[in-house]
Amino acid sequence: MNVASAKVNLVYTILVGLVVGFLLGFIDTYGYAVTGYTTAELSPIVSVILTYPLLSKILRRKPFIVEHLISVIIASGISLTTTITSGMYITYTMLSRIADPKLIGLPEWLYMSSLDVNVYALIFYMYAVLVSAVGVVIAYIFHRHFIEKERLAYPIGLAYSMLIQVSRAFRKLNIILPIVVGITLHLIAFTYGTSIFDLTPILQKILPGSSLALTLDIFIFFLALLIPLNTSLGIGLGNLIMYLIITPTLVSLGLMSILPFMKSSDIALEASPYTASIMVGFITIAIIYYFLTSRSAFILTFKLLIRNTHLLKRLILALALITSSFILIFTLIELPLTFMLIMPFYLSIHLLLVLLTLRVVGETGTASQATLPLATFTLFMSGARGALTYALLDPYTGVPMPQFMAGSSMNIIKGAKRLGLEPNVTVNLLILSLLIGAPITFIYGHYLLLAYGLNSPKLN
């Protein structure tokens, strides 16, 4: 292959990645609005299927693995922005309808306050993506530690890289038939909605505080099929333990109040403070145990990091970007002195949670938000109040999500590394695609809200 053809192939490769990324961005935005769940973490797997026929058509031959891989990375990067831009834009718009924005301190540039796109909102969400991209940088800095030293599997990364390798054997029917089935099932779900059989009121008479609901939801069903098996089992068992053991125990101890006519959603809302508290305690112990047992490996990693000027500069830049959100909040509202004093400690919690998320994703494949209430708890105990503070600083309820981005990008780094692409190339492609995708996916969220509103049965 000569230089000229290589250049043309690179152009087509990037173009296909952008097209598929913009398509996935819309699908993920819509999926988030309907289900409340994001499928962006699974975009590497989905984009392998979507990019292959387009590349084959435009190149008039089977794409090389590196061409296919670059398209997948670009498409995945754009898709990942939906969690931060359109996803949180829709979330805060819902919050603005439930609570008085002025009363809770929610500025207009966090939600849809008019029919036109708010330029300040667009700028803010692009900034939030930039801060979240810190997670990509940290994943790159520690990729040798988690991939080579701890030898974590990163199931999503392994799956999409294997799929790229076997894609050469794809036939048109293998691709078209599942897409047709998916469209058909979606139209059925779109027409008839979700069926739910809530057993909670009946269970209240037998075991006060317990909750169980049987739901037939096509979106959640297919999401469960895509998520790795051990993760799906963990979610299911966790829900059963929570609402058949823990909440009845809380009621019996007099810590949680319930009414006989409560539905499953009411029980979940009533139990949420206790759920968060339990998670904070569990995660605190998990962090201490993990870093104590892995201290030797981490000490060696940090020693090597200090000696590597290139990586050290990247880490300093990453921490500086996270710190910029602290500076921004100080210019917007007055924060208590206690928070100012614990700011260095809170910054270290951010880094610890990034590392813990990288560990969790290495085993389960998907980033768990279960680790993040520790940051929320720390903010609350410091005296920080108001929606804006949490929107800017809290990775659990807020917009910048370096932890989520770190876990998702490490999957992509692992898969690309397995196929022979250098991690620094992967990271650069990812960050560029994040910045390109941010304004587009934000606009998707705005116009979906404009088209359907918040009271539409098509959006939950």
What one-character DSSP code corresponds to residue 154?
A: -
SS3 content of the chain, % helix, strand, coil (to 5): 80, 0, 20
With beta carbons less than 8 A apart as the criterion, state whether 158 and 415 touch: yes
For residue 6, the model assigns a pLDDT of 45
Whose structure tokens read 């000027």? 309
Determine which of 191-205, 211-225, 267-281, 308-322 has the lowest per-residue pLDDT on average: 211-225
With beta carbons less than 8 A apart as the criterion, state whether 78 and 28 touch: no
Alpha-carbon span 450 to 101, nearest angstrom: 19
For residue 139, the model assigns a pLDDT of 94
What are the tens digits of pLDDT across the range 121-167? 999 999 999 999 999 999 999 999 999 888 888 888 998 999 898 88
CB-based burial label for 187 (10 Å; 0-12, 13-18, 19+): exposed
For residue 140, the model assigns a pLDDT of 94
For residue 271, the model assigns a pLDDT of 82
Closest CA to 208 of 247, 181, 174: 247
Residues 6 or more apart whose Cβ sits within 8 Å of residue 419: 65, 66, 69, 161, 164, 165
Residues 6 or more apart whose Cβ sits within 8 Å of residue 71: 13, 14, 16, 17, 20, 47, 51, 54, 55, 63
- Mean pLDDT for 102-107 is 89
Q: Structure tokens of 141?
A: 């800095």
Q: Other CB atoms closer than 10 Å to residue 457's CB: what's the count?
A: 10
Q: Is 195 helix (H, G, I), strand (E, B) or coil?
A: strand
What are the tens digits of pLDDT across the range 305-355? 889 888 899 999 998 998 898 888 888 887 777 777 888 888 888 889 999
Whether 458 has a pLDDT exceeding 60, the answer reads no
pLDDT interval class at 218 (50, 70, 90) = low
With beta carbons less than 8 A apart as the criterion, state whether 415 and 109 touch: no
Closest CA to 82 of 135, 26, 18: 26
pLDDT interval class at 407 (50, 70, 90) = very high
Q: Structure tokens of 313?
A: 């500069």
Alpha-carbon span 455 to 433, nearest angstrom: 33
Determine which of 247-251, 253-257, 321-325 has the lowest per-residue pLDDT on average: 253-257
For residue 4, the model assigns a pLDDT of 41
Whether 5 has a pLDDT exceeding 50, the answer reads no
Q: H or E element: which one contains 214?
A: strand 213-216
pLDDT interval class at 378 (50, 70, 90) = confident
How large is the angle between the packed helices 373-381 and 337-364, nearest 10 degrees?
Answer: 170
Q: Is 258 helix (H, G, I), strand (E, B) or coil?
A: coil
* 19 DSSP β-pair partners: none
Alpha-carbon span 218 to 215, nearest angstrom: 9
For residue 3, the model assigns a pLDDT of 37
Whose structure tokens read 């590349």? 55
Q: Is 428 helix (H, G, I), strand (E, B) or coil?
A: helix
Residue with the bigger pLDDT between 82 and 197: it is 82
CB-based burial label for 208 (10 Å; 0-12, 13-18, 19+): middle
pTM for the structure as a whole: 0.84
For residue 2, the model assigns a pLDDT of 39
With beta carbons less than 8 A apart as the criterion, state whether 112 and 449 touch: yes
Residues 6 or more apart whose Cβ sits within 8 Å of residue 295: none
Residue with the bigger pLDDT between 71 and 382: it is 71
pLDDT interval class at 239 (50, 70, 90) = confident
In whole numbers, what is the pLDDT of the chain averaged over residues? 84
Alpha-carbon span 375 to 397, nearest angstrom: 10
Number of H-type helices and E-type strands within the chain: 22, 2
Highest mean pLDDT among 163-167, 224-228, 279-283, 426-430: 426-430
What are the tens digits of pLDDT across the range 26-48? 988 887 777 666 778 888 998 99
Q: Where are the alpha helices (DSSP H) in 83-133?
A: 86-98, 101-104, 119-132
Q: What percent of the chain stands above pLDDT 90?
A: 30
CB-based burial label for 344 (10 Å; 0-12, 13-18, 19+): exposed
Alpha-carbon span 316 to 304, nearest angstrom: 15
